[in-house]
Copies of this chain bind each other. A is one copy, B any other.
Amino acid sequence: MKHNVYFEGGVQSLGFADAAGNASVGVIDPGEFSFGTSTEEVMSVVAGSLDYRLPGAGWAVAAAGQSFTVPAGITFDVRTTAPAAYLCRYR
């Protein structure tokens, strides 16, 4: 597995691969962060709550147990006021 550090440690993840493909689990510390996608990503919140904004859309909320899909090749924003943990699957 691979430990990834973004935004000076404000977002960190552990990447792994299983039968379903590449994936990561991570934690997003309080703040607002932008990410670019190279593949479609399915983000599932596993702890806390995450605000997210896709291109051309307003802010939406994903609580623990909820997922959202991010298209390939775009930049999207996330923000949270408390640490949020997620599972991300890369399609």
Binding site for B on A (CB under 8 A): 1, 3, 5, 9, 12-14, 16-20, 23, 25-27, 29, 44, 46-48, 82-83, 85, 87
Contact = CB atoms under 8 A, between A and B. Distances in A.
A66 to B, nearest CB: 13
A83 B47 contact: no
A1 B16 contact: no
Identical copies in the complex:
2
Contact of A85 (B12, B25, B27): B25
Contacts of A48: 18
A44 B44 CA distance: 14
A16 to B, nearest CB: 4
A3 B3 CA distance: 8
